[in-house]
Structure 1
Amino acid sequence: MFSRIQELKFCNKALLPMALALALSPMSGHAAAAWAPTTTHAALLKDQSTSVTGMSAGAPATTYRINAHGKPAVKAQVSALDSTKVLHVAVSLNLHNVDQLQAFNKSVNTPGSANYHHFLTPGQFKAAYSPTDAEVQSVVRHLQQSGFTNIEVSPNNTLVFADGNAATVSTAFNASMKSYTENGKLRFANDSDAMVPQALSGIVGSVTGLQNVSVRHPMNHLGAQVSPAADTGKQTGSQTSPTNVMHSPTQFPLIYDGQNTPTAYNTTVGIITWGDLTQTQADLNTMTTVNGMNPVNVKVVPVTLSGETDFSDDPGGDVEWCLDSQTIVGTSGGVKQLVFYTAANGKYGAQDEELTDAGISAAFNKAVTDNIAKIINVSLGGDETAQNQTGTQAADDKIFAQAVAQGQTFSVSSGDQGVYTATGGDFESNAGVVLPAPFSLSTYSSSEPATSPNVIAVGGTELTTNGVAWAGEVTWNDGIADAGDGNNRIWATGGGYSAFEAAPAWQVTTLNATARQLPDIAFDASSFTGAIIYVGGQKNGVGGTSLASPIFVGVFARAQTYANNSIGFPASNMYRDFPNNPQVLHDVTSGNNGVTLAGTTYGYNAAPGWDLTTGFGSLDINAFNQLAYTWGDGTPPTGTPPPPVVTTLANNVAVTTQGNPGLAQQFTLNVPAGKATLTFRTSGGTGDVTLNVTGPTGSWVSAHPNTNTEAVTIRMPAAGTYNVTVSGGNQIFSGVSVLGSYQ
């Protein structure tokens, strides 16, 4: 099959330059005589109404609605976009042999197929499925003739980036640009469909970057700052009653039964971000240091969008990137490398605008063309209708399809607004009664890119633990609360049906589905039971499906290392094997992701088996590893885990440590000859520790129950290195002082 595709591509490359030259020869930098549609429709819809403000009564006035689910009205005055405003666009080109690609992606993950686990390289994908060089050059030429500058082509030929303004957009795409100000920020959008000359019909799929009125946003719920003294260490393994508390990211592998599985030491993970990552890396280093973990091998890959090169810090984004990175590292136990694909953050001078979807999709594409990260986390999403109408959904689907062909997995948060993604989950209070504003409670929507059939959509649960043991989960729904901007909104897991994506084969078979349904699985997301992470050096409690997705990434990264990184996109395996392997799952059977008003419950309900709030539920890491190993090529993991962090003690200088149940912190002390006594002590903090010492002439242990006050004294110690282990048994220990002294 592959050789036949290459043959077809050779024919295309041979014939297209001549055909395109003939078709494009009469074109100039002015409007084409005939236009062809793309999948990018108007982001602002003209709405004819009647107004008496500023004009005679009864005179028609043009108002606008946003082309999203529910078509919300624009309340500000809309005018033509300033001609000096620079627009950074991304033109998405259509793939070739789409049916063959879909068949290949199915067969590459089907045992017994000739293509099974024969994942493509980016070069092979480009040769078989990408637009030809001639097609790309025809698009580049059209952009140049229309006045665009800084034109760049992605390595896989699927995206063409360029800079322009309202005039160049009008010339190139027959579209007009409008703007308005909302909450002090400039909003811009096209109020007519983007089109291309007939000669480019079938080549250009969509044009993104033309609007910032409907963009994807992080999926986290920031809770209160946690005092330095407060820690989940006060919750011990001997507790007898289940509780709802927050946890350190390093505790999730304990809660979800992963303490006896390998870490993800041989798997590279990616995270989609934007802006500056300096603070994120500093906070990640703080988290690993206080937990006695090895430093993380971090790589930051800036993803520019034509002339947009602003990577200044976005404090709002810092929370998300800290949550993603610390949760992945804590849950995985450590990865081979953590790659941040960071898009330029969309700040243009004095106007603090939101990043357009073109930049985010460019970051997706960079992760795929690099083909370094085996798993990529995306804690972002937005209204599916808006993403569909702007052509962003179609552009993303092509990128995710290439990832599947290459054996990569995108994990995507399913959303934090329950079934009300389209409205941002916003509600308003009226006389003490929570009412929808301005939408119908029975109208549901979903989040893109979680709706893509080529990603794993991860929903949210509210987790209950007994100490650090899993005790139960329900569908995450924190109810309606202040969003921090004066608006009341719902905080609940996304889930439901895609309005545009057909059900993938595995959902057709297992769920008898016709539309893509989500989520696929779920993990902890409640702000009451979420993660304690470091943001700006301070501990904060954070929840949301932006926590759930990184937990899955950490879990799946462990499985990939265990299977020698030979598992491909796991969705078909999940839907085939999970129903017959209940030991792998924590089935979530209660809860809802909507609201209850006047005796009516809206949204979807959890139920036994797969459901529209938590999918299959959460995973038991150990059981999942055993099952997921069968999805790989059967080879044992390669390489060796990095050695544990060992802290060198200085004589009579105390250090402070902490750790999780079953884990230990390591120390050494070099003792010179001629000393009379050597003493190691632990004291203070919380929990219960055991002190183990080994030296040149033997080993010693101190294990007093229910205390951190331990001591080992050695008379006439031999010269040499003494190794000290402080372990917490079945409890968390925190703030424990460790001292070694000789005299």
Structure 2
Amino acid sequence: MRPHSVRRALITIGATALVVPFLGGVGASASPSDRVSVAGATPTWATSASLAGTPAASDQVSFTVALPLHNAAGADLLAQQVSNPNSAQYQSYLSPAQFNARFAPTDASVARVKSFLSGQGITVTSVADGNRWVSASGTVAQVNKAFGTVMKTYSLRGKRLRAPSTAVSVPSSVAPDVAQVTGLDDSALLRKPMSVSIPDDGSMPSAHLVTPGATPPPLGQCSTYWGQHSQTVPDAYGKTSVPTNICGYSPQQLQGAYGVAAAIKAGQNGHGVTVAIIDAYGSPTMQSDANAYATGFGQPAFKAGQYSETLFQPFNLQTECQGEAGWNGEETLDVEAVHSLAPGATVHYFGAQNCDDGIDAALNYVVQHHSADIVSNSYGNAGEELPADEIQLEHSIFLQAAIEGMGMYFSSGDDGDDVTVGDTTKAEPDYPASDPMVTAVGGTSLAVDKHNNYQFETGWGSDRDVINYATTPASYTSPLPGSFIFGAGGGTSFNFTQPAYQRGVVPASLAKKNGSTAMRVVPDVGAIADPYTGFAVGQTTGGVFGLRPVGGTSLACPVFAGIQALASTGRRHAIGFANPLLYSLPSALYRDVTPSKTPIAVTTTNASGTVTLDRDTSLTTARGYDEVTGRGSPLGLLFLLAERLL
């Protein structure tokens, strides 16, 4: 929770503003008189109520000192102009070298920061490409002295996290060279992959253990298309037979459902377009799995040179970041989803060293080397509870990406409004999806018929009611629809004011949900995310290759990124930051995902529970723009043609 005593200031970011804690700010005097506060380095969760202790003075802290862009206001303005279809400078992108020549911090600024850190006994480990930040490492005692703070340990969501307990400051002599100090806190360790699977059906007791009671129905079959098979359940909305979950849609089914199969067949398959995928770590069987998967479904495998990897090894922070095994499934999903929707696109996978500053380093590398036209990111933080300095640092990377003509796409999250699952104390979207310089992809439940045609979509949000077979007849453990288990992230930002591209499209009731100021609302678009109507992913585990259905906005993001690669095929200029274009398109180019007239339910093969669709916490689907699916899902060839011609 943000303490009520913290005041807020609006820092202009192009057409929007970032709301950050105001702690004096670089350039304002602080005590003692020769030091200047650096705003935003203390996370809002570092409160006295969550205080858990003090780290040892000898503990090591790795952090970065970010340097301010030269003429940041000019960079903000240029990012808006090159991304706006109505601007005379639309798509007049800069190369990384041109961007750095105009806006990057100078070598002299880097030298002063390095000198300050070294003078405090702190070890400088590297300087990021483009002089964006200086990475360093020191003890807790050295950090406390250098930055005039006191490091403490806090308890948050079952983890013990370190953070400054007081404002961070630097000597006035170096203050003009310091934009942010990031990494002193452990907020980034809350990042997680955003793929989900159907919950374990072990919640249903075995039939021979249920005595006395009802007899569970015979084990059924998962469905290869919507409604193929059904299972018997206690009365659910007037029905005692509901469809079983999808075994996992194939590439052909998603191509057909989203109306792009004909375009791919005609050669608009993503050739000439590079899609980057960023996650933590890297599966050792990524390419072989993707090729086996494609071949198994009769799709083209990667050609020589069509797939590549950049791994930032050695990997570290395994315990803090859920380990490589916790990310390998995510990475495999991302690669196979992009290749399935854009089989001709070049895919470049970037495996960050960890889920902390490693992600920032990977993002910066991709931007500094212009490694792709489209960047798919299926990870995020629970809510916006990051220190403002981390948000400002990542935002500056997204700003540079837009100026270079690179589109950044992010999953909107899998926990709905975050409150229901206990991630946050108030409804808010996840970051980086809430950043106004990225495209946030929300989620849907997708029904595909036996001929690979689109049948319907609902908002992805699942309430599950476990069936109790210890009673006669079998009954639900609670009144339908049961309890929320997962759903697309979204909602109204507390950090960013409304970007110009959302004006006139996003209802005021959503934009002003948190007060009188119109704010950024998430997501921008939607695509398949529900694991009950999920995507088949092929992965080698334990030396054996197998298929399993997976969902999450981690699926929605690479699916939409793949569709954007199709729209980019043969385009004179890259789409770049897509939101101004996406919001300018007629609503007829989207499938508007609206609430169903009657509840739609699904169950698993053993009928362990009944799942009601389109039940996403406080977030709801609606006609027009909504906070679950944004403007909706793309409408096939017409959507591709409109983006290709603009």
Structure 1 length as normaliser, TM-score? 0.65
> In the alignment, what sits opposite 1:603?
618
Are the aligned partners of 1:90 and 1:208 in contact in 2 as well (CA < 8 Å)? yes
Deviation at 1:201, TM superposition (A): 2.6
Q: Does 1:314 align with 2:311?
A: no
Superposed, 1:90-489 pairs within 5 Å as 90-111=64-85, 113-179=87-153, 187-213=161-187, 215-223=190-198, 245=246, 246-261=248-263, 262-292=268-298, 293-295=300-302, 297-303=306-312, 314-336=324-346, 338-345=347-354, 355-356=355-356, 358-387=357-386, 389=387, 391-420=389-418, 425-426=420-421, 439=425, 443-467=426-450, 468-479=452-463
Structure 1 residues 223 and 149, CA gap change in structure 2 (3 angstroms): same
Give the secondary structure class of the aligned counterpart of 2:433. coil
Q: Does 1:628 align with 2:633?
A: no
> In the alignment, what sits opposite 2:488?
493
Structure 1 residues 225 and 533, CA gap change in structure 2 (3 angstroms): farther
Deviations 1:444-502 (A, max 9, x none): 111000001110000001111222111111111112689xxxxx864011111110112
Are the aligned partners of 2:446 and 2:457 in contact in 1 as well (CA < 8 Å)? yes
Aligned length: 530
Q: Does 1:559 align with 2:567?
A: yes
Q: Does 1:538 align with 2:546?
A: yes
Structure whose CA Rg is larger: 1
Structure 1 residues 309 and 136, CA gap change in structure 2 (3 angstroms): farther
Structure-2 separation of matches of 1:275 and 1:625? 33
Structure-1 separation of matches of 2:421 and 2:118? 43
Q: Does 1:590 align with 2:595?
A: yes
Are the aligned partners of 1:250 and 1:333 in contact in 2 as well (CA < 8 Å)? no
Deviation at 1:42, TM superposition (A): 4.4
Deviation at 1:34, TM superposition (A): 2.0
Structure-1 separation of matches of 2:414 and 2:284? 27
Deviations 1:121-161 (A, max 9, x none): 11111111222221122112112222222431112111221
Give the secondary structure class of the aligned counterpart of 2:184. coil
Higher relative contact order (CA 8 A, sep 6+): 2
Deviations 1:632-658 (A, max 9, x none): xxxxxxxxxxxxxxxxxxxxxxxxxxx
Structure-2 separation of matches of 1:570 and 1:501? 18
Give the secondary structure class of the aligned counterpart of 2:437. coil
Structure-1 separation of matches of 2:132 and 2:504? 31
Are the aligned partners of 1:88 and 1:306 in contact in 2 as well (CA < 8 Å)? no
Are the aligned partners of 2:194 and 2:411 in contact in 1 as well (CA < 8 Å)? yes
Counterpart AA for 2:195:
N
Structure-1 separation of matches of 2:68 and 2:43? 20
Deviation at 1:578, TM superposition (A): 2.8
Structure 1 residues 628 and 213, CA gap change in structure 2 (3 angstroms): closer
Structure 1 residues 305 and 94, CA gap change in structure 2 (3 angstroms): farther
Structure-2 separation of matches of 1:34 and 1:150? 21
Give the secondary structure class of the aligned counterpart of 2:131. coil
Please provide the CA RMSD for this pair. 3.5
Are the aligned partners of 2:447 and 2:456 in contact in 1 as well (CA < 8 Å)? yes
Structure-2 separation of matches of 1:32 and 1:285? 62
Counterpart AA for 1:367:
V
Counterpart AA for 1:494:
G
Structure-1 separation of matches of 2:580 and 2:637? 20
Structure-2 separation of matches of 1:447 and 1:104? 26
Counterpart AA for 2:590:
L
Counterpart AA for 1:295:
F
Unaligned 5+ segments in structure 1 are 1-22, 24-30, 48-63, 66-73, 346-354, 428-436, 483-487, 593-599, 632-743
Are the aligned partners of 1:458 and 1:548 in contact in 2 as well (CA < 8 Å)? yes
Superposed, 1:649-728 pairs within 5 Å as none
Structure-2 separation of matches of 1:602 and 1:222? 19
Deviations 1:352-410 (A, max 9, x none): xxx32x222222111111102111111111134322x2521111110000000000001
Structure-1 separation of matches of 2:316 and 2:461? 42
Structure 1 residues 263 and 281, CA gap change in structure 2 (3 angstroms): same
Give the secondary structure class of the aligned counterpart of 2:561. helix
2:581 to 553, 573, 584: 573
Counterpart AA for 2:281:
G
Higher share of residues assigned strand? 1
Give the secondary structure class of the aligned counterpart of 2:273. strand
> In the alignment, what sits opposite 2:8?
none
Give the secondary structure class of the aligned counterpart of 2:538. strand
1:548 to 541, 556, 573: 556
Structure 1 residues 532 and 93, CA gap change in structure 2 (3 angstroms): same
Deviation at 1:319, TM superposition (A): 1.5
Deviations 1:64-116 (A, max 9, x none): 42xxxxxxxx6xxx232234433221222222222222221222134464423
Are the aligned partners of 1:478 and 1:527 in contact in 2 as well (CA < 8 Å)? no
Give the secondary structure class of the aligned counterpart of 2:62. strand
> In the alignment, what sits opposite 2:18?
none
Structure-2 separation of matches of 1:306 and 1:231? 38
